Structure 1
Amino acid sequence: MTETHHEPGLGLYCISADTDSPVTLLRLRTLLRERLGAELVHLGDPVLDAAATGKITQRLCVPAITVRERALLDTEADNRVINHLILNPGSVDSSTGRRRRIALISNASAVADLGPLPAAVVLPALESAAAHLRRATGLDVYPLPVAADTPQDLAATAVALAPGFATLCLSHTHPAYSGAVRTALEHTGTPLVDTTAHAHAVAVTAATLNALRHKAVPVGSARVVLTGAHRGGDLSGLLLAAGVRSLTLHEAGAPAVDPCGPADLLIDLVGIPAPQDGTPVLRACPQDLPPLHMTTRRAHPLHALPALLTLAARTRRLTPHSLVAAARALAELAGPGQLLPAVDEPGLAQALTTALARDSAHPTPKPEH
């Protein structure tokens, strides 16, 4: 598939070509240079071109042209605000931009299945996530790779960052580090939203509810098997809270065959082969996320992350009840025959945020479905 754009008056053509593999791309580059000459051809990768922009940027929220306008940004003005905050410590969110500021942090300890990596390597992934989240929420999301070799180091950094942000969001971070950060932040008043343990787990729970509904199996009587629970964060607890009463945790490497016969659903977080007994499989490995255009059948953190961050920033908390409510609301937003709505479906984040706000204002027991 190619696109061609001609620059009038310059005699230049911009051609975009999609190839099926790096090998094909290399052959195409070689062919172009041989046929047209290296001096006439400028070759670039649009992925690298997009990454080089940083994908997001800051904007000035106040005018700073006149002397009077600049005076509002001067030391004397800052001191007035600081004195106000000293006398009114509860007004930080209303007197600063903290209420709309999100720290998106990672120490690159869980980037796909590549193992621990240098912190800077995760920056492109954080920038992409920040762009998606900014577009969906309007919040100011700051991608912050952190060089932290131990859970305690990352936890200390998170605590140091907490005063400047409405909430912290962890991404591409190993569960051992995530647990330390969560514990350290408990007494700071700054909530933590974990991309895998919270957002991905909510999406998988919603997909599970709909997979069982499509099979006409009541959630309360369904037999569900979960493989790789160590990768799922809060997923086990979410499934139980959503009404699943029979949940079997399966170890990767062991035969995925239930002696009681086929289960109603197997949720796979590690990529095991399909069971031989015919149990249907919901693939949901958090280290192997689906492309954004294929998210009506597979869970992606972006299904729930924008709404969870919005809720956490507004209320300065994220409760287990909120996660269950998000999973149920997300399941209800899926179209006919879908396990989940597409992550880029217009209005998805707003609809889920509204449902969460309504649920938090009037929490009531939800029936099983």
Structure 2
Amino acid sequence: MSNPSDWATKDYYKTLGVSKDASAADIKKAYRKLARDNHPDSKPGDKAAEERFKEISEAYGVLSSPEKRKQYDEQRSLFGQFKNGFPPGGGFPGGGTSGGTEFDLGDLLGGIFGGGGRGGRRRQPQARRGEDLESEATITFQQSVDGVTLPLRLTSEEACPTCHGTGAKPGTVPRVCPKCQGSGMQTGTAGGLFAMTEPCSQCSGRGLIVEHACATCHGSGRAPSSRTINVKVPAGVKDGQRIKIKGKGGKGDAGAPAGDLYLIVHVESHPLFGRKCDDLTITVPVAFDEAALGAQISVPTLDGPPVKLKIPAGTPTGRTFRARGKGSAKKDGQRGDLLVTIEVQVPDTLTDEQRAAVEALRAARGNEDPRAAVFQAAG
């Protein structure tokens, strides 16, 4: 998970390969592609890919949140203005001038850094909610109708299991930074004109110095962590649906709540059945005599015995009938319907007896033109 005090030095847009005005959809698309290409599961033992995956996840964790993205953009903009120690054009916020006016950037960024303004106040560590994670799963058509519980393997950045997030080698502890006295901020001057508060150069804003770094996380206190969880996919889920599983994302810091998991579900197609909202669909063939004279036919269902369907005489091809309660599950526990579309079959070949019967039908029809109404409508 990213530290807001580090945002000014990291270009998350460049990490994901998107522009600063990229839409949320563009950011998500770029993240998903890069995450697939660099996921530790697909490149076991590749440390470079693992580090790249961590950077991608950190960038997406900030840019995918409207609130965090707004804070990140503001902080980057402010540091861009003050990176040389002076505001643009020589002016000072609040109407101050270069005549000895003290300008404390820590006060201006207090809301972003969480404290550390005038007087060297110690920053209080803030509990940070765990990052939201996104995953994908492919299920069968039957599972989408009935629901299913899936095992999912998730990878996220969490407190290092070796040092428990301190960044220090087991058996040692970090010490308070002597330069900032644990505040994480330092006050400097620019040409003797004004004072400026910025992250401490010795501890990089952490307020602590790690003398003996943890071998697992190299002093960062964070490390990739993989775990397998069981996720219940509800009955009636649709292809491409995005499901929110609350509290199953990355773990929070200092007792803060975990993030959420967003699961995108892909549903495999079925050789016979289709979906239309909560209804299932199927196309069944009927013989010409069944359609012309009427018949009772059997129609298969997805997960039960066949249903009997009465076809009235004169049923044309393409007509749809409804078998109630034989469709997909709904949110209220009820089931949709099975929509049965009739397709009148024309045989490829005829026996002598069948040909004689069809020729007798043609003779009985006489000169009746079935396309007469079409020509009449054409004018």
Report TM bin, short chain: under 0.3
Normalising by structure 1, report the TM-score.
0.20
Q: Which has the larger radius of gyration?
A: 2
The structure richer in helix per residue is 1
TM-score (norm. length: structure 2):
0.19
More strand by share: 2
